[in-house]
A = this chain, B = another copy of it.
Amino acid sequence: MPRAGLNHAVVVNLAAQVVDDGGPRGFAELSLAKVAAKAGVAAPSLYKHVGSLADLRRDVALIAVRELTAAGTSATVGRAGADALHSLATAWRSYAHEHPGRYAATQIGPDPEDPADARLREAAAESVQVVGAVLHGFGLPDDRVIDAVRAVRAGIHGFVTLELGGGFRMREDVDQSFTVLLDMLVAGVAALATSDTLLDHDATGSHR
């Protein structure tokens, strides 16, 4: 009865591999049974290293979010403005293509109350910070930064989600569509910075 030499980090990494192997649905279909099989161990043995399936899923989400943040930061060092935004967006989309399962894991909404989600919340905030830093170079007024960050996140995330989910037919043109979306976002953010008429909405809630 030799030992498998597992520990928390190894188990989480194996889980991340299982998630990757499963394609876009890999995260949803993650199970302790699959991880145990990959580790060459009986399923209950995993509880020596992991509290529950929910914990394991959270841990996988955490490394995925951190990897995404890292990809974004390294793609934007030494860049600014539209260049930085294109680079960031492309890096994120590439990560999603290379690790569709892990990208799905980043969509987990951490519970704002649960202390167990604290590190995940923090990691998610850091990844949003990358967008904030890139948009800082556009010289937006303070009260518009949040709108711009949300729009950019929504656009990129929505595009990648739809793409991975098979929401786009005609695969050939997807790269161009992504470029067009990014140009729209860049133009929109730039317009927001200069208070263009089309984008002139005050904060007093004229809508809804």
Contacts and interface: CB of A to CB of B under 8 A. Distances in A.
Interface of A: 24, 28, 86, 90, 107-112, 124, 144, 146-148, 150-151, 153-159, 161-162, 164-168, 170, 173-177, 179-181, 183-189, 191-192, 196, 198-199, 201, 203, 205-208
A162 B189 CA distance: 19
A164 B107 CA distance: 11
Judged by DSSP, the binding face of A is helix
Contact of A177 (B150, B179, B198): B150
A183 B199 CA distance: 6
A155 B158 contact: yes
Given A112-B166, A199-B187, A161 B161 contact: yes
Contact of A147 (B108, B151, B177, B208): B177
A170 B143 CA distance: 13
A199 B181 CA distance: 9
Nearest to A201: B179
B180 A201 contact: yes
A180 B154 contact: no
Q: Which 6 pairs show the lowest CB-CB distances between chains A and B? A: A158-B158, A184-B188, A154-B158, A109-B165, A154-B159, A109-B166
A146 B180 CA distance: 10
A165 to B, nearest CB: 4
Nearest to A151: B181
A170 B125 CA distance: 13
